[in-house]
Structure 1
């Protein structure tokens, strides 16, 4: 299957691949609604040019198939824009078209509008969709406001990897999901909004699950990304980006409260606005534990317990090692490179499509993101081959993807998702387990 890139905008409210019925005749043609008004516009299409059609006057035979409808290349188009071929004005008249051009995708010598999903003798598929949260955003804005994890320094990238060895004869299951092994302990994705804070959201998400698992369900907090965004300020930039190593250092040394206690304040696209001040500090209380020094910013919540973790560790990039760690200790955190088509993901097993390679660099930009891997699986393709995938939780809310989650090809380091994977243990004492 062949899929379109973002083009000029991340999302455009189009239903471009819906076929429209059309009659060959043109009765009262000038009163008909324009094709571009019904969601079909691909001003880059070479229709008149490819057939070398520029008929004089009104000629009903001067017509071409156009996405399930009919478009015309005669000079009668100079009186109307109802059903003219998209390149009539620039090819036949040498003037710009009378409606704003919207880029599509070139495939097999034909232009298709954005947001469509097209089959092309392919056996690997994922579905693109229209996400209202991204309406009006350019690709540059999507990268600037919806990601926010700064790629680790070379020193951090070279940190020692913990290698997990499978026991002799040990076979991992073909499918696994953390929420099935640890019901009620794996938390649903949050929404970072237009805050470039995936560094804080993914860290809080993984720590929430791991604290819950390692305390055997005695503690089940949804940890506060806002606590990290506002209070972890050492070489961090809040909603303008941050580093994973700094986030884990803060969780280990300072700790954070729950999201109920310190809820996310949200952020509009206003980089000039001041960052929210830190409203939650902690102090040592012995044996490495810490306690809050203020009440919850949410005045309706009294529980301001501080949650901490042990030092973070890096896993090997072999998918079997990541799988074993995930199955034994809980979800893990992963870096990934987000390309233009990931914003359009709606479902299926994602892999980056190369259709934008021939376009200018501004349409091919990508940025670093961080997510929570929660499981894996595999599907059998029509030709009998097996397609393996990870399941992961994003931080773009439940309306994106598969209820806030996505699947991505496993075992080939798709979008660098296996290149830097982190695990951690929740700091859980006997008193946290109810023992004194």
Structure 2
């Protein structure tokens, strides 16, 4: 696998869609985690681990909804880990039901996390993706127990701003599941094809984009990187994923990491 970043020459014009963290990060509870005394493994990739489940790559299309899609996928991954079976929650529900005025506009990921604490979350099958501005349809859709997994057996804790220490982030992913991260992006990121992405200081930031960090690894030359899932379809990047330098807060990806634990109801 090639490590040097490779970029396309034709811009696919992918949509981003997360508000500047300055606007919402202060509303999130600060980190409560401590660095684990046991160092995490050098490599962890749940995509090739039969005991783990990773939600499929989505394609948000022209809907600027990474703030909501990434939350739905992180909760899906964490719920799948708790329940030991594949679960994919509806991302469209988050977009339709949180704020019907903004919908497919850049949003605040904290709103998505807060919504997940109280809403009757439905499966992707029950509330499928359209990528369009729709009215909230939760009240009109039948939601059987098997399609409302979270509310029947599990609950979402309050969202937490995770420590920027890459070791803490690694342990969080290892023990609890994938995390949401909001990163600075420039025009080069849309053109990403393969390799380990780095933010070039010579290129201006065009906005912020939320992704899902699922694991990490390192090259033969000991260059460490995160394994992250994007929401621009499997034709983008490395089958929908990208690698980005780990441990240096590349593109601010380690500064704006969020997650909430999934707990079994008593």
TM over 0.5: yes
Matched with 1:51 is none
- Pick the structure with greater CA Rg: 1
- Whole-angstrom distance in 1 between the partners of 2:98 and 2:41: 39
1:162 partner SS? coil
Equivalent residues, number: 260
Q: 1:369 aligns with which of 209, 217, 222?
A: 209
1:161 partner SS? coil
Indicate yes or no: 2:7 matched with 1:164.
no
Instruction: Identify the structure with bigger relative contact order (alpha carbons < 8 Å, sequence gap 6+).
Output: 2
Matched with 2:5 is 126
1:320 partner SS? helix
Matched with 2:167 is 320
Q: 2:220 aligns with which of 380, 384, 387?
A: 380
Deviation track 1:156-190 (CA, whole Å, cap 9, x = no partner) reads 366311222222xx232111112344546211211
Relative to the length of structure 2, the TM-score reads: 0.88
Indicate yes or no: 2:249 matched with 1:413.
yes
Matched with 2:106 is 241
Matched with 2:84 is 216
Indicate yes or no: 2:14 matched with 1:149.
no
- Whole-angstrom distance in 1 between the partners of 2:236 and 2:9: 9
Q: 2:96 aligns with which of 220, 230, 235?
A: 230
Matched with 2:200 is 353
Indicate yes or no: 2:120 matched with 1:250.
no
Q: 1:192 aligns with which of 57, 60, 66?
A: 60
Contact 2:52 2:81 in 1 (8 A): no
2:130 partner SS? coil
Unpaired runs of at least 5, structure 1: 1-122, 268-274, 282-292, 357-363, 431-436
1:380 partner SS? coil
Unpaired runs of at least 5, structure 2: none
- Whole-angstrom distance in 1 between the partners of 2:111 and 2:249: 25
Matched with 1:265 is 130
Q: 1:280 aligns with which of 125, 133, 138?
A: 138
- Whole-angstrom distance in 1 between the partners of 2:162 and 2:168: 7
State the shift of 1:253 in Å. 0.8
- Whole-angstrom distance in 1 between the partners of 2:113 and 2:16: 18
CA, structure 1 residues 176+165, in 2 after alignment: closer, same or farther (shift >3 Å)?
A: same
State the shift of 1:307 in Å. 2.8
- Whole-angstrom distance in 1 between the partners of 2:131 and 2:30: 36
Contact 1:378 1:388 in 2 (8 A): yes
CA, structure 1 residues 244+125, in 2 after alignment: closer, same or farther (shift >3 Å)?
A: same
State the shift of 1:341 in Å. 0.5
CA, structure 1 residues 342+223, in 2 after alignment: closer, same or farther (shift >3 Å)?
A: same
2:94 partner SS? helix
- Whole-angstrom distance in 1 between the partners of 2:83 and 2:63: 31
- Whole-angstrom distance in 2 between the partners of 1:303 and 1:198: 26
Deviation track 1:287-343 (CA, whole Å, cap 9, x = no partner) reads xxxxxx6326xxxx9964253522222211000000011111111111101111101
